[in-house]
Each structure stands twice: as structure tokens, then as C-alpha cells.
């Protein structure tokens, strides 16, 4: 069984939401990325979303764009990211957490769909989100991924039409990434009021776990999302902490990011003390 499926199955049995931190591979460097993934796993994260830096990111706000620039400015290559993941899987201190890449379709296309997925699997990736691949043009990727038990995670936004939402709900694997707001990623003070209704509609179409991202940045917000969804995704707030401590020692950076993430994890996991909203929708 794919690690993503197993993790969500285990968490559903415990009536507990997944905590999914996003970090950019190579920000500020690849050894730091490795240390952060292992630390986040140790702190209680359930799935890692690992951004593959790209010069023209889709839907990413200035915080994540800046993290991609920092990585790319050092000449980082996709092959180095695969080597990093392989190294993490061999780590004696952990490295068994599910890892999902976020990669532009241009990266997949350049390698070829089958080669990209085979390389990703051999390195130890469990799935991928491809934000700039339209669902209507994704058949080849899904066909190859299904044969190899590699999960393709799709996005649903508040503005997604009913027709496209139906297709995405049927095709998405591992989990569905629900974008909580209209716009780009970033830290926000409040979450939209229409989330519960939109998640309710989505649940009527699929049993695939639903995770919510974009704008979650505090333990209180993480708890709110954890009561609505199967997973809580936090990206920009964590990247902002990495940027803040990028000039400090590796130990200080990892400690600070780990402490910050742990508070978010505690907030998300507090949702397990309540009945999940989706259980009554």
C-alpha cells in the first residue's frame, strides 16, 4: 500500500487530521531540507509536501516564490532533489514519512511522464501535485501513475466549476488539495466562511481524503481546518520561518522551524477531541 493511503487510513481510524507541512527543496540548501524533513517527521507531521523549485511558479505567493529563487540561484537541479529524497529514505533517524512533490508539468514533461514517475518512485516519493496540469489533459499521467501506485493529488478551488469538480473528485488520488481562498498562497489572518459548505459538496462526490491549504498559519486556524478536513496544509508560514532563520546555524534554524510546526501540529490534532464536521455532513 502506498504510504499516503496508509497514513490517511491510520489517521481516519484515530479520527485525527493529517498535518502536512510544505517546504521548498533546497531552501536555503539541500542539507537543511533533509534536516527539516526529518525534524518535521519527529515533531509529528504526517505527510511532507516538497516543492520542486521552478522559475515560474503557479499560484505561489511572494514567500514561496522567494524560496524557489533562493534554491534556483544556487544552480539546483531536479536530479539533486531525487538524490536528497533517496538519502532521506536511507536515514537511520527516520525518513519514512510520506512525501508528495509539488512540481510544474514542465519538469514532468521534460523527463517524460513515465520516466519522471519511475525516477520519483525509485527515489522514495509517494506522489505528486502538478498545479499547472489541467485535469482534462491529465489522462496519460494518471494512467501511468495508477499502474505504479504513485498518487497524483489534484486541486479544487472555491471557483472550480461543478463539472470540473466532479472530474477532479473522481480522479484525484491519495488526497484532494482544497484551496481555501481565491488567489495565491500566503499568510492570512482569517479563513473564508464558505469552506464548510464547499467541503460538504466535495464529500458528496468522493471518499478520497480532503486536505485544506492556502492561508493556514496559526494553531487556531489549524484546529478549525482539522475539524472540517482530513488534512491541514501549511506552507507560507513555515517558509517564512525558514527565511527568518536562514542566516543562523543549521541547529538554530531546524529548532525554530520545528518548534513553530509543533505548535501548528498541536492545534491541528486538537480537532480529534471533537467530532469531525465531515462525519455529520
Q: Which of 60, 126, 230, 262 is catalytic?
A: 60
Within 10 Å of residue 203's Cβ, how many Cβ atoms? 18
Question: In angstroms, rounded to a whole number, what is the distance separating the alpha carbons of residues 141 and 129?
Answer: 11
Q: Which of 27, 49, 126, 262 is catalytic?
A: 49
**Contact in structure between 159 and 182 (CB atoms under 8 Å):** yes
Question: In angstroms, rounded to a whole number, what is the distance separating the alpha carbons of residues 274 and 145?
Answer: 36
Which ranges in 217-269 belong to alpha helices (H)? 219-228, 236-244, 250-269
CA nearest to 209, candidates 176, 160, 234, 164: 176
Instruction: Provide the grid cell at 234.
Output: 501549511
Catalytic residue flag (residue 243): no
Alpha carbon 100 to chain centroid, angstroms: 6
Instruction: Provide the grid cell at 245.
Output: 532563520
Catalytic residue flag (residue 49): yes
Residue length of the chain: 281
Question: In angstroms, rounded to a whole number, what is the distance separating the alpha carbons of residues 165 and 159?
Answer: 10
Report DSSP state, residue 112. -
Instruction: Provide the grid cell at 175.
Output: 488526497
Q: Which residues are catalytic?
A: 49, 60
Amino acid at each position: 500500500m502506498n504510504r499516503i493511503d496508509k497514513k490517511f487510513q491510520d489517521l481516519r481510524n484515530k479520527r485525527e487530521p493529517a498535518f502536512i507541512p510544505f517546504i521548498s527543496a533546497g531552501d536555503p540548501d539541500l542539507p537543511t531540507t533533509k534536516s527539516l524533513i526529518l525534524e518535521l517527521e519527529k515533531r509529528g507531521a504526517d505527510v511532507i509536501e516538497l516543492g520542486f523549485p521552478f522559475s515560474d511558479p503557479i499560484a505561489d505567493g511572494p514567500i514561496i516564490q522567494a524560496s524557489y529563487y533562493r534554491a534556483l540561484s544556487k544552480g539546483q537541479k531536479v536530479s539533486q532533489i531525487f538524490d536528497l529524497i533517496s538519502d532521506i529514505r536511507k536515514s537511520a533517524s527516520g525518513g519514512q514519512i510520506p512525501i508528495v512533490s509539488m512540481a510544474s508539468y514542465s519538469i514532468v514533461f521534460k523527463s517524460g511522464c513515465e520516466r519522471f514517475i519511475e525516477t520519483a518512485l525509485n527515489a522514495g516519493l509517494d506522489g505528486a501535485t502538478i498545479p499547472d496540469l489541467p485535469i482534462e489533459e491529465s489522462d496519460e499521467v494518471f494512467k501511468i501513475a495508477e499502474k505504479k501506485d504513485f498518487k497524483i493529488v489534484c486541486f479544487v478551488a472555491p471557483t472550480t466549476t461543478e463539472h470540473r469538480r466532479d472530474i477532479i473528485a473522481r480522479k484525484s488520488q491519495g488526497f484532494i488539495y482544497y484551496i481555501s481562498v481565491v488567489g495565491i498562497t500566503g499568510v492570512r489572518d482569517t479563513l473564508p466562511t464558505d469552506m464548510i459548505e464547499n467541503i460538504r459538496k466535495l464529500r458528496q462526490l468522493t471518499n478520497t481524503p480532503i486536505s485544506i491549504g492556502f492561508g493556514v498559519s496559526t494553531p487556531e486556524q489549524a484546529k478549525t481546518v482539522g475539524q472540517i478536513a482530513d488534512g491541514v496544509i501549511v506552507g507560507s508560514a513555515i517558509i517564512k520561518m525558514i527565511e527568518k532563520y536562514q542566516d543562523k546555524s543549521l541547529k538554530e534554524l531546524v529548532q525554530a522551524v520545528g518548534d513553530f510546526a509543533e505548535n501548528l501540529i498541536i492545534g491541528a490534532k486538537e480537532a480529534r477531541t471533537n467530532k469531525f464536521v465531515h462525519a455529520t455532513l
